[in-house]
């Protein structure tokens, strides 16, 4: 057990500080401070001791050097049970410091504000980070409060224990401190490494949400990130681990479409998608692709949901609906099911890399941001592509890019009519798509086909031709490309090659 007798308080954000300072003063704890924090405390009618009077040096170099001095660092780092340390602090007149309350300059916030580099560099904290690390290292004797996020917990401890802390408390706050310092350093490193590009991977998330469970009930699950920054939730139960995967897939898919579009997602794959002039019609046609799989799915669109669309949607059992906005009438209708999760998007996913654990490490890759434009498409056979076919091929290729490999997507008139997903052979994926399209009553004549990878043999284009498919899009790159091209040439099919494979595993 240690009683706090002296404290150093030097913070950037003053919110929530007043109650702590007043409690420290009430407990008779000596307060050291500097700069704006000194003025803040003085304004409360409490007289702190300035760090400058302690060190004998003013704040210098434009405030870059204030607390980096043996009188401060020695007061924090001295080991109370070490006779050598005791002698040295007595010899040099260094007062013990039992508590430090400090935060760091807002580096990440400054970077995100598109500030000039000179302003960003000035927000790299030196003194604060040194104080945090020093206190955390000497947690056996010193308490560190490293962030405004810890104020409430620390104030409760002050009130309950009247300035006394035990080792478990000090160790817990030291853990907070190293989390703050490591996150801060990671942000700085990643800023510099955008240009330097060292082969080093560092990510840090300070916001975490414990989920009900992971992919299955026997697995623990946590989401690291800020869901509240992405969505406003209007209705429904807590978002689950599997929900987050589907939500991410839904948002990534819909963001590739500019026209009014509705999609239905099941297990990360689109089971329905259509673009129409109004949202209600887009929903109806998206649902018709596979109303069976749509049960319990995730609905996503890129326009505000109005009353007419909501009335049409409401009869479907859906887990989640995601939209940029909702009319009041639409919300009232969709809220009729209490467990239905309704999300309004606040921001798009701006991550440019993807990563996941594998073996004893992590695999990292660039996000697949390629979207093939209809205007750039040309047929490699003598059968030209019509304007409508180009639009359908572009539409289909956007979907196949977001579909689990091996993947085949069939499209007609800006509507997904079937897909074959996650198959071990491309032929199986195509046969699955054709069978599904026929099962739900679609006429494949005049439809188009997209493949996420090249055709190693002409079997797929032959099957497609016999089913009535008239145009094909795929990346090309097989040593047997000419065999598929020749078959299309002989059977009056159009084919375009993109040069971009879209595997998704």
Q: Of the candidates 321, 274, 266, 270, which has an alpha carbon nearest to the alpha carbon of residue 295? A: 266
Per-residue tokens: 395: 């539409």
* Cα 38 to Cα 34, 48, 55, 62, 70, distances in angstroms: 5, 7, 15, 17, 20
Q: Of the candidates 453, 439, 441, which has an alpha carbon nearest to the alpha carbon of residue 499? A: 453
Contact status, residue 100 vs residue 147, Cβ threshold 8 Å? no
State yes or no: is 267 an active-site residue: yes
- Terminal alpha carbon distance of the chain: 54
Q: Of the candidates 354, 359, 313, which has an alpha carbon nearest to the alpha carbon of residue 337? A: 313
* Alpha-carbon span 335 to 330, nearest angstrom: 8
H or E segment and range at residue 265: strand 261-266
Q: Collect all residues with Cβ–Cβ distance below 8 Å to 298 and sequence separation of at least 6.
A: 243, 246, 247, 249, 250, 264, 265, 266, 318, 319, 320, 321, 322
Contact status, residue 158 vs residue 17, Cβ threshold 8 Å? no
Question: Of the residues 5, 23, 137, 438, which is catalytic?
Answer: 137
Per-residue tokens: 415: 């509507």
Contact status, residue 216 vs residue 205, Cβ threshold 8 Å? no
Contact status, residue 223 vs residue 231, Cβ threshold 8 Å? no
Per-residue tokens: 70: 């043996």
CB atoms within 10 A of CB 142: 27
* Alpha-carbon span 67 to 436, nearest angstrom: 70
* Cα 307 to Cα 265, 284, 367, distances in angstroms: 22, 14, 36
* Cα 217 to Cα 23, 101, 221, 296, distances in angstroms: 45, 41, 9, 18
Per-residue tokens: 352: 């440019």
Question: Of the residues 14, 123, 267, 307, which is catalytic?
Answer: 267
CB atoms within 10 A of CB 435: 12
Which value, to the nearest 10 degrees, does the dihedral of the CA atoms of residues 424, 426, 430, 435 take? Answer: -20
Catalytically active residues are 137, 267
């Amino acid at each position: 057990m240690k009683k706090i007798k002296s404290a150093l308080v030097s913070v950037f954000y003053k919110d929530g500080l007043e109650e702590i300072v007043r409690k420290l003063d009430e407990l008779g704890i000596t307060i050291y401070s500097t700069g704006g924090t000194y003025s803040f405390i003085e304004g409360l009618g409490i007289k702190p001791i300035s760090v400058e009077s302690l060190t004998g040096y003013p704040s210098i170099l434009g405030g870059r050097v204030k607390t980096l001095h043996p009188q401060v660092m020695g007061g924090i780092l001295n080991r109370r049970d070490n006779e050598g340390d005791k002698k040295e602090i007595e010899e040099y007149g260094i007062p013990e410091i039992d508590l430090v309350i400090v935060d760091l300059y807002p580096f990440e916030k400054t970077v995100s504000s598109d500030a000039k580099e000179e302003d960003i560099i000035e927000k790299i904290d030196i003194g604060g980070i040194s104080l945090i690390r020093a206190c955390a290292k000497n947690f056996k004797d010193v308490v560190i409060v490293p962030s405004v996020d810890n104020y409430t917990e620390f104030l409760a401890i002050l009130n309950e224990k009247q300035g006394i802390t035990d080792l478990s408390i000090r160790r817990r706050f030291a853990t907070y401190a190293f989390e703050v310092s490591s996150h801060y350093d990671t942000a700085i490193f990643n800023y510099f490494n955008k240009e330097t590009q060292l082969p080093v991977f560092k990510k840090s998330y300070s916001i975490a949400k414990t989920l009900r469970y992971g992919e299955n009930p026997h697995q623990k699950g946590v989401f690291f990130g800020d869901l509240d920054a992405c969505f406003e939730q209007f209705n429904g139960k807590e978002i689950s681990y599997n929900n987050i995967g589907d939500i991410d897939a839904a948002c990534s898919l819909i963001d590739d479409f500019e026209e009014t579009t509705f999609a239905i997602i099941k297990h990360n794959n689109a089971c329905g998608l259509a673009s129409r002039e109004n949202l209600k019609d887009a929903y109806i046609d998206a649902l018709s692709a596979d109303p069976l799989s749509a049960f319990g799915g995730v609905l996503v669109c890129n326009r505000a949901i109005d009353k007419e669309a909501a009335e049409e949607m409401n009869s479907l059992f859906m887990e989640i609906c995601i939209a940029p906005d909702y009319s009041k009438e639409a919300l009232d209708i969709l809220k009729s099911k209490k467990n239905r999760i309704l999300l309004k998007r606040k921001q798009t996913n701006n991550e440019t890399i993807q990563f996941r654990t594998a073996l004893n490490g992590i695999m990292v890759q660039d996000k697949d941001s390629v979207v093939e434009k209809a205007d750039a498409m040309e047929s490699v056979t003598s059968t030209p592509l019509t304007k409508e076919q180009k639009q359908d091929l572009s539409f289909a290729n956007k979907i196949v890019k977001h579909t689990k490999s091996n993947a085949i997507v069939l499209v007609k008139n800006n509507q997904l009519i079937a897909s074959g997903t996650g198959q071990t052979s491309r032929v199986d994926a195509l046969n699955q798509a054709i069978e599904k399209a026929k099962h739900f009553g679609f006429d494949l004549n005049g439809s188009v086909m997209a493949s996420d990878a090249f055709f190693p043999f002409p079997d797929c284009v032959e099957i497609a031709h016999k089913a009535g498919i008239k145009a094909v899009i795929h990346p090309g790159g097989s040593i047997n490309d000419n065999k598929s091209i020749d078959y299309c040439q002989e059977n009056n099919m159009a084919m375009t090659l993109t040069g971009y494979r879209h595997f998704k595993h």
